[in-house]
Amino acid sequence: MARQIKKNRPILRERRQSSNDWTSGDMARLLHVDLKTIHNWVGYGYITGTRTSGRHLRFERTEVVRFMRGFGYPTPPSVSKAAPRVVYHLAQGAKKPTKSLGRGLDLLVCEGPEASLLAFGGGEREVFVLDADKLDSKHALKVLASIREWETTKTMGFVALSRKPATRKAFIDAGADAALAPSEADLRATILWLTGVEKAPSSKVALPPVEEE
């Protein structure tokens, strides 16, 4: 059964429009409904939108994908055609990702979570990847909490990397979209799944539990 979307999720404010933002009109055409229905869904908390400086609604692609999957809509090619925009927090001194990971992605690699958060905070990135094993566990979870609290990043995807099953579980419990052991192949598959490019994630990836209606 389709996952039930939690109600009363807040509308975000003041995001810059990007090529991967969807307007209310885009959503209405995509889902074959009228504009009033889209605005009602936002009011009910079924989907979370952001506001431009002119108070127009915009929808981040990762949120569109969550909504469509949660309510059983197929994800059409028009949703997945743009390159996913990713910030990868790389632990200081860690080996940099290979070109294979970045193929087809708009990938920005930063050393240290603070630099990554600053790069992510402009609202132009869709997915944040955190290498958690070299951070204090409480500090690492605070990075996730900060992303979920900021108005410009609340709907964006979060992926935690850790070799420790307990750490991966802690991130899922705290609201991460996915958690996995370090693997470029699995990470790439997860990013593509979160942004609607792929229909299914890797079987090795921990995901939040499905809520039944």
Which residues, in sequence order, are bridge partners of residue 57?
51
pLDDT for the residue numbered 114:
60
Rounded (10°) angle between helices 165-173 and 137-149? 30
Give the SS3 label for residue 171: helix
Amino acid present at 145: A
Which residues have C-beta within 8 Å of that of residue 47, sequence separation ≥ 6?
Answer: 5, 27, 41, 59, 63, 64, 67
Maximum average pLDDT range among 1-5, 113-117, 179-183? 179-183
My answer on whether 140 and 157 are in the same domain is yes
The answer to whether position 9 is within a domain reads: no
Give the SS3 label for residue 6: coil
Integer Cα distance of 116 and 131 in angstroms: 11
Task: Answer whether residue 34 shows pLDDT above 70.
Answer: yes
Each residue's pLDDT tens digit, 116-150: 556 555 556 789 999 888 888 888 898 889 888 87
Sheet bearing 178-180, strands edge to edge: 106-111, 85-90, 127-131, 157-161, 178-180
My answer on whether 58 and 139 are in the same domain is no
For the entire predicted model, the pTM comes to 0.68
Each residue's pLDDT tens digit, 61-88: 888 888 888 888 887 777 777 788 888 8
My answer on whether 128 and 90 are in the same domain is yes
Domain count, the chain: 2
Each residue's pLDDT tens digit, 181-191: 999 999 999 99
In eight-state DSSP terms, residue 206 is B
Q: CATH number of the domain at 66, please.
A: 1.10.1660.10
Query: 87, 72, 79, 90: which is closest to 196 by C-alpha?
Result: 79
Query: 83, 168, 85, 165: which is closest to 123 by C-alpha?
Result: 85
CB-based burial of residue 49 (10 Å sphere; 0-12 exposed, 13-18 middle, 19+ buried)? buried
The answer to whether position 8 is within a domain reads: no
Each residue's pLDDT tens digit, 10-19: 333 333 444 5
My answer on whether 103 and 74 are in the same domain is no
pLDDT for the residue numbered 14:
36
Q: What is the mean pLDDT of the chain?
A: 78
